[in-house]
Amino acid sequence: MSTVDKSQAGLTERQYHIGIAPGEVSSVALLPGDPFRVPFVAEFLTGVKEVAHNREHRTMTGWYKGRHITATSTGMGCPSTAIAVEELARVGVTSFIRVGSSAGLQPGIAPGDLLVSEGSLRADGTTDAYLPRGFPAVPDLGLTVALTRHAERIAAASGTRAFTGISTSSDAFYAETPALITELSGMGVLNIEMEASAMYVVARLRGLRAGMICACSSNLVDGDSLYSDKNAALKGGWMRSIEAALETAVELEL
């Protein structure tokens, strides 16, 4: 009898959670949270194929301007995101771009605007299992610069805006109190979401590239409620974030 080493178990096999085997995906993956947003990525692609859908992890592949592209949903929160990144890395993905929803924490950010993360305040528990609290959760610089450039161009063409700054990744959606929101805003934090810190930390540890571009779903300091009727604006933001991520993948040959 021997203790299982999870870092070595199943490396060459079909992955337990995402249901993907080596050779079934590309070297770059776009990561929405919601499995029902994976088809939004597929709308930009040709030769689309659904590879797997297990639990919260749905995967489709296709082609965009000559680049082979994968889209895999992470589910909500850092635990399932860390699993998705770990297992995608095992089957050949080397670059990750999160394309999700996020709430603005600074005045003037509107639903549908684009938010590019320059780093994440680690307010989650998952990354503590990987590294000491003082280790930063930061994206790949070159990837982030390219995302910013494409976000600004695409947003300007649509009459919306793109912002860059420090984000924060939280574990507890309904524990985000007015006091916490005020504190984060006062620190200059741009936006809050639930997945990026795990993606950044795992990618750094595994020698991979990661970045994030989100669509603003609401503004928590302007009193723009998450439950307002902003569905059209949010979906437009999602599609612009996906386009910016795809253009980045092409430019950098990810």
The count of other CB atoms within 10 Å of the CB of residue 223 is 8
Does residue 202 carry a pLDDT above 90?
yes
CA 34 to chain centroid, in Å, comes to 11
pTM score > 0.85 for this model? yes
Query: What are the sequence ranges of the domains in the chain?
Result: 28-252
28-252 placed in CATH 3.65.10.10: no
- What's the confidence (pLDDT) of residue 226? 57
- What's the confidence (pLDDT) of residue 232? 82
Q: What is the pLDDT of residues 52-106, one digit of tens each?
A: 999 999 999 999 999 999 999 999 999 999 999 999 999 999 999 999 999 999 9
Burial class (CB in 10 A: 0-12, 13-18, 19+), 229: exposed
How is residue 10 annotated by DSSP?
A: T
- What's the confidence (pLDDT) of residue 228? 59
Quote the percentage of the chain above a pLDDT of 70: 97
Interval 15-32 mean pLDDT: 97
Helix (H) or strand (E) holding 216: strand 209-219
Contact 97, 30 (CB under 8 A): yes
Q: What is the pLDDT of residues 129-188, one digit of tens each?
A: 999 999 999 999 999 999 999 999 999 999 999 999 999 999 999 999 999 999 999 999
Sign (positive or negative) of CA dihedral 193, 77, 252, 166: positive
Work out the mean pLDDT of the chain and round it to a whole number. 95
Residue 66, by phi and psi: left (phi above 0), alpha (psi -120 to 50) or beta?
Answer: left
